[in-house]
Amino acid sequence: MEIQRQVANYMEQVMDACILAGRLMIANGSEMYRVEDTMRRIAQNAGLKEPVIFTTPTGIFVGLQDRPLTSLGTVTQRVLNIEKISRVNNLSREFAAGEIDFYQLYAALRDVDRATPTFPLWLQCIGAAVASALLMIIFAGQYDWLDMPLAAVAGTAGYLVAYYLGRFTKVYFITQTVAALACGIVAYLGVRLGLGHSIDNIILGGVMPLVPGVALTTSIRDLLAGDLLSGIARGVEAILSAIAIGVGIALIFRFLM
């Protein structure tokens, strides 16, 4: 009886580890096929012969075909952090290769969830500024040395607004709209003050850090892999984000131009 209880507890821990790994990957922007493959490998290498795994952008289900055990996890927040996805993948490979045991894997996954370092805000702002200035050249097909610094400032302003507003509200539509509005205001004021020439090009570059490119790409990848539910859900999320950016910019042209 005691052995059966220990086996059941071990299986529950394995399922919890699978849920944790899947939640970390989904919450940080991974494709669903990669999530399910990683979870399945962890379960099989831990001794679960026939795991049943089903994932969505907001929920994870893990069960066993030969036992009445089921575990459910939820994903309440989604961001973009490739570092966490890479760490979970590396841990699953080390576990499959026998370099770490299950309990070390489980502890390491909890550490990834709690203590994965991120880039400081000032470096993120530099990245947003550089991306805005350079992508303005690519998408506008032309460049003005006077517009590039202003596009960088507008992109940084929009990114900062999205960063801080995201701490107070989980409504992505509001965050993107207000961030695009801030970007448009900076571009408008800069042109009016003679710091730039083309408000269209400046706004085009400034909103680039807000564009949901990863979500759209992941959505298409999921659809091609047959994950229709997650593909459609992420595609709709990306479309709504693009609409929110458009609404913010439209408000600038409606009331200030």
pLDDT of residue 7: 67
Query: What is the token pair recorded at 124?
Result: 């993120």
pLDDT of residue 147: 85
pLDDT of residue 180: 92
Going by C-alpha positions, the residue among 88, 113, 102, 106 that lies closest to residue 48 is 102
pLDDT of residue 157: 92
Going by C-alpha positions, the residue among 88, 17, 11, 23 that lies closest to residue 50 is 11
Q: Report pLDDT digits (tens) over 72-94.
A: 888 887 777 888 888 999 999 99
Residue 82: DSSP 8-state: H
pLDDT of residue 181: 92
What is the rounded CA–CA span in Å between residue 224 and residue 94? 29
Name residues whose C-beta falls within 8 Å of residue 37's C-beta, 6 or more positions apart in sequence: none
Query: What is the token pair recorded at 65?
Result: 């075909």
In the chain the first and final C-alpha atoms are separated, in Å, by: 77
Give how far the C-alpha of residue 170 lies from the chain's centroid of Cα atoms, to the nearest Å.
14
- Give the full edge-to-edge strand order of the sheet including 70-74: 51-55, 59-64, 70-74
> In degrees rounded to 5, what are phi and psi of residue 213?
-65, -40
Give how far the C-alpha of residue 104 lies from the chain's centroid of Cα atoms, to the nearest Å.
26
What is the rounded CA–CA span in Å between residue 60 and residue 142? 46
Residue 197: DSSP 8-state: S
Q: What is the pTM of this model?
A: 0.81
- Mean pLDDT in runs of 10 for the chain (257 residues)? 69 87 88 88 85 86 79 82 88 89 89 80 89 85 80 91 84 87 90 85 88 83 82 86 90 79
pLDDT of residue 49: 80
